[in-house]
Structure 1
């Protein structure tokens, strides 16, 4: 019924809220843009997971022959069998 008169305090608060909205939207746009750039250049990224990376190791000048027999990971039963000398009877 009565026209609501907006208090001067509410006008200032609305201005501050709009300023904060602009700053937050700019921050979100910045983070989004950086994410897109990182994703599109993903082939150059490698995560650090506390393991040696084969891309960082130097090239072996004398690589082993391709058909040199079975290869087993260290600590597996197959590696233990390969490291023991074969007994011929």
Structure 2
């Protein structure tokens, strides 16, 4: 019950190769999250700067 052909050739087996690395990120939402966090940091820095400016220029 051999599965070899009668002429002695070996039956070709499929190759299971992994896909190469993608050039684009797998999850494009990562860029959006990073951009959102960067904008949040800038907004926070602006808020802190505004508070410091308000305290410095406050008329007592």
Output the TM-score relative to the length of structure 1.
0.39
Relative contact order: is structure 1 or structure 2 higher (C-alpha 8 Å, sep ≥ 6)? 2
- Unaligned segments of structure 2, at least 5 residues: 1-21
Q: Does 1:14 align with 2:19?
A: no
Runs of 4+ in 1 over 4 A off after TM superposition: none
Larger helix fraction of residues: 1
- Unaligned segments of structure 1, at least 5 residues: 45-89
5 Å matches for 1:1-89? 5-9=23-27, 11-41=28-58, 44=60
Paired with 2:41 and 2:33, the residues of 1 have a C-alpha distance of 12
Output the TM-score relative to the length of structure 2.
0.55
Q: What's the CA shift string for 1:30-83, capped at 9, x where partnerless?
A: 010010011011x52xxxxxxxxxxxxxxxxxxxxxxxxxxxxxxxxxxxxxxx
